[in-house]
Amino acid sequence: MSTVLVGILATAGCGRAAQSGDDNGEDDHGQRDTAAYTTVGQLPERLAPDGTTVVVGSPTAPTTVRLYEDMRCPVCEEYEVDGGGEALRTLALKGEVRAEYTLASFLDDRVGGSGSKRAANALRAALEQGKFIEFHDVLFSHQPEEVVDGYTDAFLLRMASRVKGLRGEEFDTAVRTMKYRAFVTASETAYEQDKAPGTPTFAVNGDIVPDHLRGAMFDAELLPAAVRMLAAGVTPAPEQP
């Protein structure tokens, strides 16, 4: 483990850098300063005014973490399933972080097919049902191999059946007809305009996480401290060669 990440881990043991109070989200006077949730299904979801950003979490959360993801990207799957994805979700449940998602679809052009676009369209349809993050997590947990282009309509609908209350005529039709094609195109454009270097890319309060701290975002133990440090404006310098 690099000394930069060791330093982050040491900071994690010293308490929060960007949030006062204890783990219950209360300040010194016992007042709850952010909304907390019990399950992922309770997290508020909405489409931001820009029409491309899916916002998940408390509107009063003091920190935003933006993720640029392509649903076919195997490194995104590594992050969400085996890396820091669950830790970020825990921060959202505590009301400490609000997650913002920009869904890219460039892998369709790079490796062929339309799976990225179809998955992004299906996620937009899930947002209409208040099931975006639940469906997002199911899709990454069952992500087909990148080159297979496995996000077919049939696959997406089968996976949607795993999310209670998601399937229905409106959702199924939106999946089959690519109802949110304009959203998919606009989201890819937003990804390109933001000059994200690839997927996944992370940004904390609008600032892209530097390369030398990227590894901390993939580590469930390190991610909370890394997010708090970056939110507080503290960016450890990279190691010298």
How many C-beta atoms surround the C-beta of residue 93 within 10 A? 19
In a domain, 144, yes or no: yes
Question: CA 174 to CA 176: how far, in whole Å?
Answer: 6
- 181 residue type, one letter: R
User: Full-prediction pTM beyond 0.75?
Assistant: yes
In a domain, 66, yes or no: yes
**Residues composing the chain:** 241
In a domain, 239, yes or no: no
| C-beta separation of 166 from 133 below 8 A | no
Domain count, the chain: 1
What integer pLDDT is reported at residue 126 of this predicted model?
98
Of 43, 97, 101, the C-alpha closest to 73 is 101
Q: What is the pLDDT along the chain (241 residues), one digit of tens a residue?
A: 555 555 554 444 333 333 333 444 444 333 344 578 999 999 999 999 999 999 999 999 999 999 999 999 999 999 999 999 999 999 999 999 999 999 999 999 999 999 999 999 999 999 999 999 999 999 999 999 999 999 999 999 999 999 999 999 999 999 999 999 999 999 999 999 999 999 999 999 999 999 999 999 999 999 999 999 999 999 877 776 6
In a domain, 26, yes or no: no
| C-beta separation of 88 from 43 below 8 A | no
Residue span of the structural domain in which 203 resides: 3-19+33-231
What integer pLDDT is reported at residue 4 of this predicted model?
55
Of 110, 160, 113, 170, the C-alpha closest to 137 is 160
199-220 burial string, b = 16+ CB within 10 Å, else e?
A: bbbbbbeeebbeeebbbbbbbe
In a domain, 76, yes or no: yes
Structure tokens at 81: 């399933």
What is the domain-level CATH number for residue 40?
Answer: 3.40.30.10
In a domain, 208, yes or no: yes
Helix (H) or strand (E) holding 231: helix 223-231
What does the H/E/C string look like for 81-104?
Answer: HHCCHHHHHHHHHCCCEEEEEEEE
SS3 32: strand
What integer pLDDT is reported at residue 2 of this predicted model?
58
